[in-house]
Amino acid sequence: GAVVSQHPSWVICKSGTSVKIECRSLDFQATTMFWYRQFPKQSLMLMATSNEGSKATYEQGVEKDKFLINHASLTLSTLTVTSAHPEDSSFYICSARDSRTRYMNEQFFGPGTRLTVL
């Protein structure tokens, strides 16, 4: 199956700093990437959808100036949490799909990044 990686797998930062999380599709081209946030024992909450070369589409209630998403190539998307605060501590998961193939519905998820803001 298709592989999606995330880096880093975990990060601890001080309040007020910015953190960048990378999401890469390793063996396929991702026309669309998604960023999710998951709190303990809860479901995945979609934050934004990004298509390669286009601006990300953010879900209602997600601050686009705080969560900067860049999808500069067909294999890389980045999420930058700017001026992080303790309430931003969460598990961030990306997923990717190639909408051009017959498996256009399938989303392949990364392993997640655990962010802890002190």
- Work out how close the CB of 107 gets to other proteins at its nearest, in angstroms, rounded to a whole number: 6
Of residues 28-87, which lie at the interface with other proteins (CB under 8 A)? Answer: 32, 34, 41-44, 46, 49, 51, 57
Build a one-symbol-per-residue string for 85-104: x at contacts with other proteins by CB under 8 A, - elsewhere. ------x-x-x--------x
Residue 85's CB is within 10 A of a number of other CB atoms, namely: 11
Distance in angstroms (rounded) separating the CA atoms of residues 76 and 101: 18
The answer to whether the Cα torsion of 56, 106, 11, 37 is positive or negative is positive
- Work out how close the CB of 15 gets to other proteins at its nearest, in angstroms, rounded to a whole number: 24
Of 62, 60, 81, 59, whose CA–CA distance to 70 is shortest?
81
- Work out how close the CB of 112 gets to other proteins at its nearest, in angstroms, rounded to a whole number: 5
Binding site for other proteins (CB under 8 A): 1, 4, 6, 32, 34, 41-44, 46, 49, 51, 57, 91, 93, 95, 104-112, 114
